[in-house]
């Protein structure tokens, strides 16, 4: 399964809008399958933390999946369930992820 540019843009737009008060450094989206073989979208949101704020707002993090699902349905690309993970740039660098 290939993730279209429209889907990538829609998801990135939702992330940026929901976390407009944070510095999001990247949104990585990869197609995958869950344990039942159903399609999912693995979404990694990398954000920059500072000494005063080590993570993103929990309320916004927990509601992000719902907003992504709504946006995908709006553009007619519902189907693959979004699995969202969050990581700080500091942790991404430790793991040598290209998103860092």
Predicted local confidence at residue 57, as pLDDT: 84
Query: Which candidate, 85, 97, 91, 83, places its Cα nearest to that of 33?
Result: 83
Read off the pTM: 0.87
Q: Tokens 């944070």 label which residue? A: 22
**Was domain 5-94 assigned CATH 3.30.300.20?**
yes
Predicted local confidence at residue 100, as pLDDT: 44
Helical segments of 4-88, H only: 5-18, 58-74
Per-residue confidence at 52, pLDDT binned at 50, 70, 90?
A: low
Query: Which candidate, 87, 48, 49, 85, places its Cα nearest to that of 68?
Result: 85
pLDDT digits (tens, 9 = 90+) for 55-93: 788 888 999 999 999 999 999 887 899 999 999 898 888
């Amino acid at each position: 399964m290939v993730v279209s540019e429209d889907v990538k843009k829609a998801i990135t737009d939702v992330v940026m809008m929901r976390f407009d008060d944070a510095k999001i450094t990247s949104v990585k989206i990869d197609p995958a399958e869950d344990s039942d073989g159903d399609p999912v979208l693995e979404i990694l949101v990398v954000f920059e933390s500072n000494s005063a704020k080590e993570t993103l707002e929990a309320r916004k993090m927990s509601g992000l999946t719902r907003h992504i699902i709504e946006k995908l349905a709006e553009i007619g690309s519902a189907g693959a369930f979004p699995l969202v993970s969050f990581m700080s740039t500091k942790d991404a660098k430790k793991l040598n992820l290209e998103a860092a």
